[in-house]
Amino acid sequence: MSQLYIIPHDHEIKLDHRIERSGHKPLLIWLTGLSGSGKSTIANALEKKLFAESYQTYILDGDNIRSGLNRDLGFDGDSRVENIRRIGEVARLFVDAGLVVITAFISPFERERELVREIIGSENYFQVFVDCPLDECEKRDVKGLYKKARSGEIKNFTGIDSPFEKPNNPDLIVDTITSSLEESVDQILNQVIKRIS
Amino acid sequence: MSQLYIIPHDHEIKLDHRIERSGHKPLLIWLTGLSGSGKSTIANALEKKLFAESYQTYILDGDNIRSGLNRDLGFDGDSRVENIRRIGEVARLFVDAGLVVITAFISPFERERELVREIIGSENYFQVFVDCPLDECEKRDVKGLYKKARSGEIKNFTGIDSPFEKPNNPDLIVDTITSSLEESVDQILNQVIKRIS
* pLDDT at residue A60 is higher than 70: yes
pLDDT at A8: 52
Binning pLDDT at 50, 70 and 90, where does residue B4 land?
very low
Contact A44 B17 (CB under 8 A): no
In a domain, A184, yes or no: yes
Spatial CB neighbours of B128, under 8 Å, sequence gap ≥ 6: B29, B30, B31, B32, B42, B170, B171, B172, B173, B174, B188
| A115–chain B Cβ distance below 8 A for any pair | no
| Helices and strands per DSSP (H, E), number in chain A | 8, 5
Confirm whether B179 is domain-assigned: yes
Closest CA to A60 of B35, B194, B97: B97
Write out the DSSP string of A34-68: -TTSSHHHHHHHHHHHHHHTT--EEEEEHHHIIII
Which residues fall within 8 angstroms of residue B126, CB to CB, at 6 or more apart? Answer: B27, B28, B29, B30, B171, B172, B191, B192, B195
Residue A53 belongs to what domain range? 24-196
Of A17, A58, A104, the CB nearest to B51: A17
ipTM of the complex: 0.93
Residue B42 falls within a domain, yes or no? yes
Q: Is B153 near chain A, with CB under 8 Å?
A: no
Q: Is the pLDDT of residue A58 over 80?
A: yes
Contact yes or no for B161/B169 (Cβ under 8 A): no
Chain-chain contact of A64 with B96 (C-beta, under 8 angstroms): yes
Q: What is the pLDDT of residue A167?
A: 97
Per-residue pLDDT of A95-118, as tens digits, reads: 999 999 999 999 999 999 999 999
Which has the closest alpha carbon to A193: A32, A92, A57, A87? A57
What is the tally of structural domains in chain A?
A: 1
CA B102 to chain CA centroid, Å, is: 6
Could you tell me what percent of chain B has a pLDDT over 90? 84
For Cα atoms A176, A182, A183, give the angle at the middle one, nearest 5 degrees: 60
H/E stretch holding B170: none
Domain harbouring B192, CATH code: 3.40.50.300
Report yes or no on A16 lying in a domain: no
**Looking at residues B84-108, what average pLDDT do you find?**
97
Inter-CA distances, A11 with A93, A145, B38, B88, B186, Å: 13, 45, 14, 20, 19
pLDDT computed for residue A143 by the predictor:
85
Which whole-number Å values give the CA distances from A166 to A80, A108, A135, B149, in the listed order? 17, 8, 16, 50
Q: Kind of pairing, strands B100-104 and B125-131?
A: unpaired
Task: Identify whether the C-beta of residue B57 lies closer than 8 Å to the C-beta of residue B50.
Answer: yes
At residue A3, the pLDDT reads 37
Instruction: Point out the catalytic residue in the list A79, A107, A122, A180.
Output: A107
* Closest-approach residue (CA) in chain A for B74: A2
B148 within a domain of the structure (yes/no): no
Scanning B171-190 for CB atoms below 8 A from A yields: none
Cα–Cα distance measured from residue A50 to residue A57, given in angstroms and rounded to the nearest whole number: 7
**Chain A residues close to B157, C-beta within 8 Å:** 1
For residue B17, the chain A residues in CB contact (below 8 A) are 51
* Identity of the residue numbered B180: S
Chain A hits for B40, CB-CB cut-off 8 Å, are: 9
Mean pLDDT value of segment A148-176: 94
User: Which secondary structure element, helix H or strand E, spans residue B185, and what is its range?
Assistant: helix B181-196
* C-alpha gyration radius of chain B: 18
- Report yes or no on A18 lying in a domain: no
Q: Which of residues 116-145 of B touch A (CB under 8 A)?
A: 119, 143, 145
Whether the pLDDT of residue B5 is over 50: the answer is: no
- Active-site annotation of B, residues: 107
Distances in Å between the alpha carbon of B94 and those of A119, A162, B35, B60?
19, 33, 25, 10
Reply yes or no on whether the pLDDT at B6 is more than 70. no
CB proximity list for B194: less than 8 A, separation 6 or greater: none
Q: Does B3 score more than 50 pLDDT?
A: no
pLDDT mean over A161-171: 95
Domain-embedded: residue B143: no
How many Cα atoms are found within 13 Å in the side-chain-facing hemisphere of A10?
1
Q: What is the pLDDT of residues B23-37, one digit of tens each?
A: 999 999 999 999 999
Task: Judge whether A66 is closer than 8 Å to chain B, CB to CB.
Answer: yes
* Residues of chain A numbered 84-113 and touching chain B (CB < 8 Å): 86, 89-90, 92-94, 96-97, 99, 104
Q: Which of B1, B68, B97 sits opposite A58 (nearest CB)?
A: B97
pLDDT of residue B77: 80
B154 inside domain: no
- What is the number of other CB atoms lying within 10 angstroms of the CB of residue A138? 18
pLDDT at B142 (0 to 100): 84
Q: Give B-chain residues touching A58 at CB under 8 angstroms.
A: 93, 96-97
